[in-house]
C-alpha cells in the first residue's frame, strides 16, 4: 500500500475498501467509476435566527451516493465535523450496507456542520425546518428517506416530517426514526445497538465462544452506545467501562448500565459516576478487555493508539471508527474486527421496516421487529463469514465484496445507454 502522510480519512478508507472489492470482483474500469462517484450531491446554506436575534448561516449537505437498488437511504448528522467529504464517505458506506443486508434501498447521507449542543430546542427546530425545505426537492418517500444519526434524534425527525408534510401533504414515510406516536417503528431506537449485539452473538456462535465470560468496553453513550451496553449486559457480558465526550467510568466488577443511564440524566459527567473510577477515552480504548466497542464518532482508532489496543475483538458500532493504517496494525496484532457495514446495520434495517409499515399504514408488534432484525443480521453475518472463509479475506473485505457485487449487478441490469 502506498504510504500516506496521515491516517486515512473516513472517505479514503471507504474508497480503499470499495476499490479492493472492485478489484477482487474483477469489475471493469467503467463500472468501477459508475459505482465509485456519488450520483448526486447538494450543498445548501441553512440560515436561521438564533434566539438572540443574530443571523447565523450553517452549511448543510445531502449526498446521494447510489440509487441502483432503490430509493436513497441514510441518516442526517449534526456535528461540527460533518463536512462534505465525511458525509460523502458515509453515503457510500450506506450504499454497501443496504445491499449487504438485502434491503431495497440505495445509499445517502446528510448533515449540517453545527454543534447541536450549543443550540436551544427552538433554534434546532428552525434549523431542521430550513434544512428540510432546502433539500425537499431531492428527498421523498420513493426518492430519498433520511433518518437520525449522530447529533439528531426522533424529535428532529418529527420536525423534518412536519416541514415536509406542510409542503407536500401528510407523509410519515419521508423519514424514519420518528417517534412511535408519529408512525415510528416500535424498536427503532434500540435497533442499532441491539443489532450490534445480534451480530456479536452470531460471530460467537460461529466461533463457539461463550460471551457470558467476556468483558466489554464501550466508547459513546448516546443512542448507539447505550443500547449496545444495555443489550451486552442482558446477554451476560460484563460491561467494565463506558466513555462519552465528557470522559469515562471504569469498574472491573461490571457497570450497571441502567443506573449509569440514570446518572447521565442529571447531566453529570460519566467520570463522576460514584460506582466507577474515572478514565479518559484514550484509557478506555487501550483497556485490557475482551471486546472493545467504538460507538461514538469515526476515526478514533488511529496509528497513535492502534498498537496499544489490548482487546482481542473490536465491534464497530460507530461508522468508520478505525483508519486504514490502524487496521493494518490491529490485524498484525491478531485483533478481530467485526466491521461497521455489517454489525451496525440494525438501524437501517428497522428503518426499512418503519418505511414499509408507513407505506402500508400498519404497525408491527415489537416481537416481529426484533425477530426480523435478528434474522437479517444473522443471515448477513453468516454470508460474510462464509465468503471470508472461502476467499481467505477479512470480514470487512468479504462484506464489501458481497455488497459491491449486488450493487454492480443492479446498476448494470437497469441499463445505461
Report 12-41 residues binding ligand NAD (CB under 6 A): none
C-beta separation of 381 from 349 below 8 A: no
Q: Nearer Cβ to ligand NAD, position 125 or 152?
A: 152
Q: Hey, is 239 helix, strand or coil?
A: strand
Site string for ligand NAD, 101-140 (x = CB under 6 A): ----------------------------------------
- How many helices (H) and strands (E) in the chain? 14, 12
Minimum distance, C-beta of residue 211 to ligand NAD, in the bound complex (Å): 21
Cα 291 from Cα 144, distance rounded (Å): 35
Residue among 65, 129, 214, 297 that touches ligand NAD (CB under 6 A): 297
Q: Nearer Cβ to ligand NAD, position 183 or 408?
A: 183
Q: Which residues contact 205 (CB under 8 A, 6 or more apart)?
A: none
Q: Does 327 bind ligand NAD (CB under 6 A)?
A: no
Cα 107 from Cα 14, distance rounded (Å): 13
Strands 247-250 and 238-244: antiparallel
Q: Which stretch binds ligand NAD (CB under 6 A): 16-24, 149-157, 285-293, 363-371?
A: 149-157
Report 251-280 residues binding ligand NAD (CB under 6 A): none
Cα 149 from Cα 111, distance rounded (Å): 9
Q: Nearer Cβ to ligand NAD, position 21 or 199?
A: 199
Residue among 9, 215, 344, 357 that touches ligand NAD (CB under 6 A): 344
C-beta separation of 248 from 278 below 8 A: yes
Q: Nearer Cβ to ligand NAD, position 27 or 224?
A: 224
Q: Does 354 bind ligand NAD (CB under 6 A)?
A: no
C-beta separation of 121 from 268 below 8 A: no
Question: Could you say which DSSP state residue 175 is in?
Answer: -
Strand partners, 239: 216
Residue among 319, 323, 394, 403 that touches ligand NAD (CB under 6 A): 319
Q: Nearer Cβ to ligand NAD, position 300 or 407?
A: 300
Residue among 86, 123, 144, 149 that touches ligand NAD (CB under 6 A): 149
Minimum distance, C-beta of residue 284 to ligand NAD, in the bound complex (Å): 9
DSSP secondary structure, 329-393, as one string: HHHHTT-EEE-HHHHTTHHHHHHHHHHHHHHHT----HHHHHHHHHHHHHHHHHHHHHHHHHHT-
Site string for ligand NAD, 208-237 (x = CB under 6 A): -----------xxxxxxx------------
Q: Hey, is 12 helix, strand or coil?
A: helix
Q: Does 318 bind ligand NAD (CB under 6 A)?
A: yes
Residue among 82, 108, 186, 317 that touches ligand NAD (CB under 6 A): 317
Q: Nearer Cβ to ligand NAD, position 22 or 380?
A: 380
Q: Which stretch binds ligand NAD (CB under 6 A): 80-88, 136-144, 238-246, 369-377?
A: 238-246
Minimum distance, C-beta of residue 152 to ligand NAD, in the bound complex (Å): 7
**Total binding residues for ligand NAD by CB under 6 A?**
25
C-beta separation of 229 from 242 below 8 A: yes
Q: Which stretch binds ligand NAD (CB under 6 A): 12-20, 138-146, 157-165, 315-323?
A: 315-323
Confirm whether 142 is a catalytic residue: no
Residue among 60, 111, 187, 192 that touches ligand NAD (CB under 6 A): 192
Burial annotation 70-93 (CB, 10 A radius, 16+ → b, else e): bbbbbbbbbbeebbbebbbbbbbb
Which of 109, 202, 297, 401 is an active site residue? 109
Residue among 74, 110, 151, 380 that touches ligand NAD (CB under 6 A): 151
C-beta separation of 196 from 346 below 8 A: yes
Task: With both helix axes pointing from N to C terminus, report the angle between 10-24 and 395-414 in degrees, rounded to the nearest 10.
Answer: 70
Q: Does 296 bind ligand NAD (CB under 6 A)?
A: yes
Cα 395 from Cα 389, distance rounded (Å): 9
Minimum distance, C-beta of residue 353 to ligand NAD, in the bound complex (Å): 13
C-beta separation of 354 from 177 below 8 A: yes
Q: Does 347 bind ligand NAD (CB under 6 A)?
A: yes
Q: Which stretch binds ligand NAD (CB under 6 A): 60-68, 251-259, 313-321, 368-376?
A: 313-321
Q: Nearer Cβ to ligand NAD, position 27 or 198?
A: 198
Q: Hey, is 314 helix, strand or coil?
A: strand
Q: Hey, is 191 helix, strand or coil?
A: helix
Annotated catalytic residues are 109
- Residues of this chain that interact with ligand NAD (CB under 6 A) are 148-151, 192, 219-225, 243-245, 281, 295-298, 317-319, 344, 347
Amino acid at each position: 500500500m502506498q504510504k500516506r502522510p496521515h491516517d486515512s480519512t473516513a472517505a479514503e478508507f471507504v474508497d480503499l475498501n470499495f476499490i479492493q472489492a472492485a478489484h477482487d470482483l474483477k469489475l471493469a474500469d467503467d463500472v468501477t467509476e459508475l459505482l465509485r462517484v456519488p450520483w448526486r450531491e447538494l450543498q445548501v446554506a441553512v440560515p436561521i435566527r438564533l434566539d438572540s436575534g443574530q443571523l447565523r448561516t450553517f452549511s448543510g449537505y445531502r449526498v446521494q451516493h447510489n440509487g441502483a437498488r432503490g430509493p436513497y437511504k441514510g441518516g442526517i448528522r449534526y456535528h461540527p465535523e460533518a463536512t462534505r467529504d465525511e458525509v460523502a464517505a458515509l453515503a457510500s458506506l450506506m450504499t454497501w450496507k443496504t445491499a449487504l443486508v438485502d434491503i431495497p434501498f440505495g445509499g445517502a447521507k446528510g448533515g449540517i456542520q453545527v454543534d447541536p449542543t450549543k443550540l436551544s430546542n427552538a433554534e434546532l427546530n428552525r434549523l431542521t425546518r430550513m434544512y428540510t425545505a432546502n433539500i425537499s426537492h431531492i428527498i421523498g418517500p420513493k426518492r430519498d428517506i433520511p433518518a437520525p444519526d449522530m447529533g439528531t434524534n426522533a424529535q428532529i425527525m418529527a420536525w423534518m416530517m412536519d416541514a415536509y408534510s406542510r409542503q407536500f401533504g401528510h407523509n410519515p414515510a419521508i423519514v424514519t426514526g420518528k417517534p412511535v406516536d408519529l408512525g415510528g417503528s416500535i424498536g427503532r431506537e434500540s435497533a442499532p445497538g441491539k443489532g450490534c449485539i445480534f451480530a456479536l452473538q452470531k460471530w460467537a456462535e460461529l466461533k463457539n465462544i461463550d460471551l457470558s465470560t467476556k468483558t466489554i468496553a464501550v466508547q459513546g453513550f448516546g443512542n448507539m452506545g447505550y443500547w449496545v451496553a444495555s443489550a451486552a449486559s442482558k446477554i451476560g457480558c460484563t460491561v467494565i467501562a463506558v466513555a462519552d465526550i465528557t470522559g469515562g467510568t471504569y469498574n472491573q466488577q461490571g457497570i450497571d448500565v441502567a443506573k449509569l443511564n440514570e446518572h447521565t440524566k442529571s447531566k453529570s459527567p460519566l467520570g463522576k459516576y460514584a460506582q466507577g473510577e474515572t478514565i479518559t477515552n484514550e484509557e478506555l480504548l487501550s483497556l485490557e478487555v475482551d471486546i472493545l466497542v467504538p460507538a461514538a464518532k469515526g476515526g478514533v482508532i488511529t496509528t497513535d493508539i492502534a498498537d496499544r489496543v489490548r482487546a482481542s475483538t473490536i465491534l464497530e458500532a460507530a461508522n468508520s471508527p478505525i483508519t486504514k493504517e490502524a487496521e493494518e496494525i490491529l490485524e498484525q496484532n491478531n485483533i478481530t474486527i467485526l466491521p461497521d457495514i455489517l454489525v451496525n446495520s440494525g438501524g437501517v434495517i428497522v428503518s426499512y421496516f418503519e418505511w414499509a409499515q408507513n407505506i402500508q399504514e400498519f404497525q408491527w408488534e415489537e416481537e416481529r421487529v426484533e425477530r426480523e432484525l435478528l434474522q437479517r443480521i444473522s443471515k448477513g453475518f453468516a454470508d460474510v463469514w462464509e465468503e471470508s472463509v472461502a476467499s481467505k479475506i477479512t470480514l470487512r473485505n468479504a462484506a464489501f465484496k458481497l455488497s459491491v457485487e449486488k450493487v454492480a449487478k443492479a446498476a448494470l441490469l437497469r441499463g445505461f445507454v
